[in-house]
Amino acid sequence: MAYNLPATRLLMNRLRQMMAEDGETRSRLDNVVQLIASTMVADVCSIYLRQPRGMLILLATEGLKPEAVGNTRLGMSEGLVGLVARRAEPMAIQDAPRHPSFSYRPETGEDPFHAFLGVPILRGGRVIGVLTVQNRTERLYGDEEIDTLQTIAMVLAEIVDRIDTEHMQNGDMQRRTRNLATLKGRVLCEGLGYGRAVLHDPVVPAAKFFAGDQEVEDRRLDRAMVDLKASIDRMMMIDGAALGEDPRDVMETYRLLAHDPSWAEKLHEGVRSGLSAEASVDRARREHRARLQSARDPYLRERLHDLEDLDNRLLRILGGDEGKPQISEERSVLVARRLGPAELLEYANAGLRGILMEEAAASSHAAIVARALGIPTLGGIEGLTTRIDQGDWLIVDAEQGTLHVRPDDSLYDAYKARVALRSERQAAYAALRDLPARTKDGRTIRLMLNAGLDLDLDMLEPAGADGIGLFRTEFQFLVSETLPSMEDQITLYSRVLKKAAGKPVIFRSLDLGGDKVLPALNLQREENPALGWRSIRFALDHKGLFRRQLRALVRAAGDGPLTVMFPMVTVPAEFFEARDLLLKEVEWSAERTGRRLSKLEIGVMLETPALAYSLPELAGAAEFLSVGTNDLMQFFYAADRMTPHVSDRYDLVFPSALRFLKQVADDCATYGIRLSACGEQTGSTLSALCFVALGFTNLSMSAGSIGPVKRMIRSLDMQAFQPDFLTALEQPNESFRNQLLALANEHGVELSEG
């Protein structure tokens, strides 16, 4: 019997009625497999559930021996069921016993069956089970049957994910209670937070899986698709002159995906099969996520990321949110698989109590934005999005790197006590605000603020910062769907200088690329973007865009002082080319406005090791050099800071890295180049201690780090500590970090980490 669309709709309608009925879980699943087998004219229908240890256990069946339920188990590398789970994609096989992966289990009684179709049951992009049908005859299941079984698997995911496999032997099949869970992650921004979970990725409730009226759902989907394309077209409406003649590959590709008729047709097929518009999009999103988990090709991963983002945007539009994430909870903790800096900035004014990310490295720009927002943040939490439901209460312990899901009263009481203790520490730091960061033996260190948002500027006085040592100008571009005009840039830079109230401000010119790929700019997808066309390289290739920014900086400064530094300079020629462009803009502005800068300082960021060996050429031209710890350590250790598996493996507090920095400090002293350091590493009290001991007198960090670092400096006798530090650097122990911690303790230096 040929399988057809009316049969699909009939199956989905009957499944909707079955899901709405009350009843014990086992009987409902038994009814589901019977329904699927009868409607699809299959001799067997079975559901397998993946256990925490990776085994796949037979959960329910129609056609196999009933006693096999709860007893048949397959590893992820066993049988056709294991192959479906491993690949995370459907498999249709005409004669299963002849397939090399076939694994015969005598207790199932599956000897007579030949045709096989298996689809993964997906939740949160992970395979949590497998749904199969089998027939005695040799036949190949068609595309419609595969699509239907995938749709059913999506509906089943919400049921089987909570079944407790430990109670299967006695037939209870109890639902797992969503009790307290404790997960570990990496601290990206220190602090404590408590609130309800808000999932960044839109959630489609099981109750809304099915279409009440197919024609209505079709029209809703069409309208949402039109709105989605219009929103992307608006992002494309930028000043092409600023980008030169190069094609805008990134957004053009993104727009092509949104206009892809095959994507739209697949979504409409879901609606025609009986799904709601949201459920049809969610089905596509689950498939994209599952493919992303196993994709190794960088280009394919980027396309799948784009498709998933399109799915999320379309779901938000269907929900009436115009494609942008919304937060309505008063106390909320944002939960996401991954976030780019631009996406995170959309939540800047949402009053978040915490941020949780499944994929994030400590030095990623999403983490930097989180620190700028001052929100307790954890990253790298494995299985995060499959362990948390919308509205769950969460405690974010971003001091010890722990997340408590659905905490009990005792944990909440302990959290409140920790908050009170943290408030006492913050009060102690606040008492140091107006005191200088001066060592016991009289050496003064300037502690500056890393900034890029208005929220950062508001922290300049409360933190007791001596100025802004790094203003990240690219954040203005990240929050805009179009390129900021020169007037917009002038307004921002003028506001920064006004809020600094005479304190020094170091503006870093545009640093785009890596994980800061903007929809509005021509940043091509690259296999290794950290080493590619980014930062000063991109700016010098787009002189219209670059000169417009430099002109805005000069205009904003007027007849006051201006300090600019250029990022990721690798060879002196790049610095001199950028410096010449800035000097031309200074003269251009003076001629047309009659106003001339009272002082101009031009510096360079040391982020590539190659530049460290070019300091003689920069002598007399670069007034200062700022060590950018994030990228410098990435290139020094050849460890991608966006890859969690390696980003936290290598430490700045290590003999080779510190010896390199000592050489840089000695060379800067020789060539008369003022030396400073910025980036996230400077905010650690132990790292800051090392910088000070190496001779750095200017450190720039996040607002929350200034208090602890200032306390450390004021407890330090540099004259006594420095000789012992340099000796340890030349004669390190196996555990150099512990060696330094012991040395600091011996000298009475107050550190905030152990």
Q: Where are the alpha helices (DSSP H) in 213-340?
A: 214-236, 249-258, 261-272, 277-294, 298-318
Taking a C-beta distance cutoff of 8 angstroms, is the pair 272, 495 a contact? no
Token pair 């949201």 is at which residue? 278
Q: Is 451 within 8 Å of 471 (Cβ atoms)?
A: yes
Catalytic residue among 45, 189, 668, 678: 678
pLDDT of residue 154: 82
| Residues 692, 675 contacting (CB under 8 angstroms) | no
Give the tokens for residue 357: 């990310």
In the residue annotation, 678 being an active-site residue is answered as yes
**pLDDT value at position 452?**
84
pLDDT recorded at residue 529: 63
pLDDT confidence of residue 27: 78
Residues in the chain with pLDDT values less than 50: 1-3, 170, 238-250, 519-520, 522-523, 754
What is the radius of gyration, based on Cα positions, of the chain? Answer: 30
For the question of residue 305 being annotated catalytic, the response is no
CA-CA distance, 751 to 351, in Å (whole number)?
30
Give the DSSP per-residue string, 593-622: HS---SEEEEEEEE-SHHHHTTHHHHTTT-
| Three-class DSSP category at 72 | coil
Domains of the chain: 5-167 (3.30.450.40), 181-200+331-423 (3.50.30.10), 206-318 (1.10.274.10), 434-746 (3.20.20.60)
For the chain, how many residues are written?
A: 754
Burial state string for 460-488 with b = 16 or more CB within 10 A and e = fewer than 16: beebbbbbbbbbbbbbbbbebeebbeeee
Catalytic residue among 114, 200, 288, 365: 365
Q: Residue 516's pLDDT is what? A: 55
Following DSSP, what letter does each residue of 497-520 receive, concatenated? Answer: HHHHTTS-EEEEPP--BTTB--TT
Q: Three-class SS of residue 431?
A: coil
Structure letter (DSSP) for residue 275: B
